């Protein structure tokens, strides 16, 4: 009897996974493709997902799905002296008809004007970062199609992995910045001594 119950539980879990469409190539949602596109257009990914260093424009419809255009900078860039905003990447969700509804697959692409080879190399060199962006796109899709808020808890593991993977680069940048600061400090002191000595 116990074995039968155990088997039925295992089969139930497998069935749920199949019905949910979980897999590497996308997730199937029980909604028509046109309705899925309508639900996703205009959805917003919170700036906090990008550490407030960039923000996503509201999702726009495309021929085969939707896209979130990620921009570095903010609306304050329009003010005098502000840093101009610049599109750096695109998170895309491709929608395809499936027997159960709509198959949604996500991708990370370079923005128009960004060197695509350099972008792809950067994503290849930093797989945890690429995974983080894909996780953010998947969460944006799931939130939009489930009519719920974007949940950071659903992407926190990928954000943490990306942060850990970037620590060596962050440390190197901090060390370089410290060395540059120390050099400027020495140059300032040397300049002050030269002025004092009349050189």
Q: Exposed e or buried b for every residue in 66-82, given b needs 16+ CB within 10 A?
A: bbbbbbbbeeeeeeeee
Reported confidence tier of residue 54, pLDDT bands at 50, 70, 90 = confident
Mean pLDDT (whole number) for 79-86: 57
198: left (phi over 0), alpha (psi -120 to 50) or beta: left
Q: Is the dihedral of CA 111, 43, 107, 135 positive or negative?
A: positive
- Output the pLDDT for position 73: 64
Of 95, 117, 116, which Cα lies nearest the Cα of 106? Answer: 95
- Summarised one tens digit per residue, pLDDT across range 1-13 is 444 444 434 333 3
Mean pLDDT (whole number) for 32-59: 92
Phi, psi for 58 (deg, rounded to 5): -55, 145
Of 140, 141, 145, 90, which Cα lies nearest the Cα of 112? Answer: 90
90, with CB counted inside 10 A (0-12, 13-18, 19+), is buried
Lowest pLDDT segment from 22-36, 42-56, 123-137: 22-36
Mean pLDDT (whole number) for 29-34: 94
Mean pLDDT (whole number) for 27-34: 94
Lowest pLDDT segment from 75-89, 91-105, 185-199: 75-89
Question: Average pLDDT, whole number, for the chain?
Answer: 78
- Summarised one tens digit per residue, pLDDT across range 154-184 is 998 888 888 877 655 555 556 556 666 777 7
CA distance 118 to 36: 32
Percent of the chain clearing pLDDT 70 (strictly above): 72
Instruction: State the first-to-last Cα distance of the chain, in angstroms, to the nearest integer.
Output: 97
């Amino acid at each position: 009897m116990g074995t039968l119950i155990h088997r039925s539980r295992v089969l139930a879990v497998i069935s749920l996974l199949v019905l949910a469409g979980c897999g590497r190539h996308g997730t199937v949602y029980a909604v028509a493709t046109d309705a899925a596109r309508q639900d996703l257009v205009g959805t917003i990914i919170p700036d906090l997902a990008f550490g407030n260093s960039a923000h996503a424009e509201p999702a726009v419809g495309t021929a085969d799905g939707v896209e979130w255009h990620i921009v570095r900078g903010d609306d304050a860039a329009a003010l005098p002296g502000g840093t101009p905003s610049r599109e750096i990447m695109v998170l895309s969700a491709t929608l395809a008809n499936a027997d159960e509804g709509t198959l949604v697959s996500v991708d990370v692409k370079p923005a128009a004007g960004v060197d695509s080879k350099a972008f792809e190399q950067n994503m290849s060199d930093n797989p945890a970062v690429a995974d983080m962006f894909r996780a953010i796109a998947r969460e944006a899709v799931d939130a939009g199609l489930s009519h719920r808020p974007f949940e950071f808890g659903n992407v926190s593991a990928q954000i943490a992995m990306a942060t850990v993977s970037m620590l060596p680069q962050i440390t190197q940048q901090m060390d370089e910045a410290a060395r540059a600061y120390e050099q400027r400090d020495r140059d300032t002191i040397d300049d002050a001594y030269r002025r004092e000595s009349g050189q």
